[in-house]
């Protein structure tokens, strides 16, 4: 009996679950799933040492454990607090937590430019989701927002420091996935910023994963920059034989064009794991294989129906039978106007461009 592990009983929002000792409150809540899971901006279960910075996952501990049932005096960061046997945690049932979270969102948005109409992350941004759920309508901040010029870090990654919430996820990626990290957080306090040391370009085979772990639009794919909005593209699961990475990706397509390649994300917005290994993808897969021929298509990815990305993506539908050619003796009906002949859009093959389209790609009378 002694080798059988003793499980801890935790109650989160009146739902009791048995978890292994050493589990954090956040992980216990994720095992329950649904609304009781606290949001996490900086914590990333696949990156060692992440978490404890953004404070969005704060929860109230109403009773510490069976042995010591006193409540914890302050709200605790659930990503860094381990569960104890008999712990009672309140997340959505606690008004204190909801109030604190609204405050945290306000802090995160203090210096955020709110340029979602421009930002490529819009539609899959965790800060957007968080603000939608917990944010207030207006800001009470009266001072000038901290601004930075946009920066190119490497040929593939665009850094918008203004949008950064300093979650440190990208530095952990560089530390844990690549051999030498050349970027980090410079300065401190209000002046803290992510940058490369003397603007050194990041050229590492796995540097592209920084884009996937970034919860906001601070690090974005330059090969996808301004090409299309996320909700107009179609996510498709695909794989290829890659000698560097697992090769399992999501292709973001428009028609047959591959506009963007990302790693597959799980329900928590983190990169999926396969057989215990995290499915990070290499830069070759991410940036260079922008053709359907390079990939074996598995099928459309599952998109949460509450996500804007599910807009216009219909699943489980069958195409109705076309009766017109049948009754017209095999002839297709004559179109009075084919929009593709008239439309001025799509004259430039944007997916073939290495970066965002600019006025140089369009002739004067086309603009």
Q: Are 87 and 60 in contact (CB under 8 A)?
A: no
Interatomic CA distance for residues 101 and 257, integer angstroms: 40
CA-to-CA separations, 357 to 57, 154, 226, 292, 360, in angstroms, rounded:
39, 18, 7, 21, 8
Least distance CB 358 / other proteins (angstroms): 5
Query: How far from chain centre, in Å, is Cα 20?
Result: 28
- Binding positions for other proteins, 43-102, rule CB under 8 A: none
The residue (of 146 and 239) whose beta carbon lies closer to other proteins is: 146
The residue (of 14 and 346) whose beta carbon lies closer to other proteins is: 346
Position 358 contacts other proteins (CB under 8 A): yes
Position 198 contacts other proteins (CB under 8 A): no
Tokens of 354: 């290495």
For residue 298, give the 3-state DSSP assignment: strand
- Binding positions for other proteins, 101-120, rule CB under 8 A: 115-118
Tokens of 63: 């009773």
Choose, by CB under 8 A, the member of 32, 82, 185, 231 that binds other proteins: 231
Position 350 contacts other proteins (CB under 8 A): yes
The residue (of 93 and 361) whose beta carbon lies closer to other proteins is: 361
DSSP assignment of 224-282:
TTTT--GGGSEEEEEE---SSS--EEEEEEETTEEEEEEE-B-TTSSB-EETTEE----
**In this structure, what are the phi and psi dihedrals at residue 302, rounded to the nearest 5 degrees?**
-80, 125
Least distance CB 234 / other proteins (angstroms): 14
Interatomic CA distance for residues 286 and 289, integer angstroms: 7
Position 303 contacts other proteins (CB under 8 A): no
Q: Could you tell me how many residues of this chain bind other proteins (CB under 8 A)?
A: 35
Q: Are 16 and 5 in contact (CB under 8 A)?
A: no
Position 311 contacts other proteins (CB under 8 A): yes
Least distance CB 153 / other proteins (angstroms): 17
Position 332 contacts other proteins (CB under 8 A): no
Position 225 contacts other proteins (CB under 8 A): yes
The residue (of 304 and 367) whose beta carbon lies closer to other proteins is: 367
Least distance CB 363 / other proteins (angstroms): 11
Q: Which residues bind other proteins (CB under 8 A)?
A: 115-118, 122, 150, 225-229, 231-232, 308, 311, 336-337, 339, 342-346, 348, 350, 355-362, 366-367
């Amino acid at each position: 009996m002694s080798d059988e592990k003793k499980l801890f009983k935790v109650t989160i929002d009146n739902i009791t679950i048995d978890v292994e000792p050493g589990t954090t409150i956040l992980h216990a809540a994720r095992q329950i799933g649904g609304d009781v899971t606290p949001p996490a901006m900086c914590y990333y279960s696949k990156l060692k040492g992440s978490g404890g910075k953004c404070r969005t996952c704060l929860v109230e501990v109403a009773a510490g454990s069976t042995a010591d049932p006193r409540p914890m005096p302050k709200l605790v960061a659930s990503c860094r607090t381990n569960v104890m046997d008999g712990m009672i945690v309140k997340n959505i049932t606690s008004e204190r937590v909801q109030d604190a979270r609204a405050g945290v969102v306000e802090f995160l948005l203090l210096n955020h430019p709110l340029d979602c109409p421009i930002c490529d992350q819009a539609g899959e941004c965790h800060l957007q989701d968080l603000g939608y759920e917990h944010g207030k309508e207006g800001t009470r901040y009266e001072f000038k927002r901290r601004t930075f010029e946009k920066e190119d870090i490497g040929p593939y990654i665009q850094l918008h420091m203004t949008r950064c919430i300093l979650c440190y996820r990208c530095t952990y990626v560089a530390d844990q996935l690549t051999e030498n990290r050349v970027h980090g957080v410079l300065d401190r306090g209000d002046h803290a910023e992510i940058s490369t040391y003397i603007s050194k370009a990041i050229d590492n085979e796995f540097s592209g994963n920084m884009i996937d772990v970034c919860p906001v639009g601070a690090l974005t794919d330059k090969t996808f920059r301004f090409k299309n909005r996320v909700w107009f593209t179609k996510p498709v699961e695909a794989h290829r034989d890659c000698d560097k990475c697992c090769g399992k990706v999501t292709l973001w397509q428009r028609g047959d064009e591959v506009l963007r390649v990302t790693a597959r994300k799980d329900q928590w917005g983190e990169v999926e794991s396969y057989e215990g290994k995290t499915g990070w993808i290499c830069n070759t897969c991410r940036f260079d294989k922008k053709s359907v021929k390079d990939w074996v298509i598995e099928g459309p990815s599952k998109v949460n129906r509450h996500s804007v990305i599910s807009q216009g993506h219909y699943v489980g539908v069958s195409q109705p039978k076309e009766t017109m050619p049948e009754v017209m003796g095999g002839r297709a009906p004559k179109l009075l106007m084919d929009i593709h002949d008239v439309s001025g859009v799509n004259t430039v093959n944007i997916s073939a461009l290495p970066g965002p389209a600019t006025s140089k790609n369009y002739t004067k009378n086309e603009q």
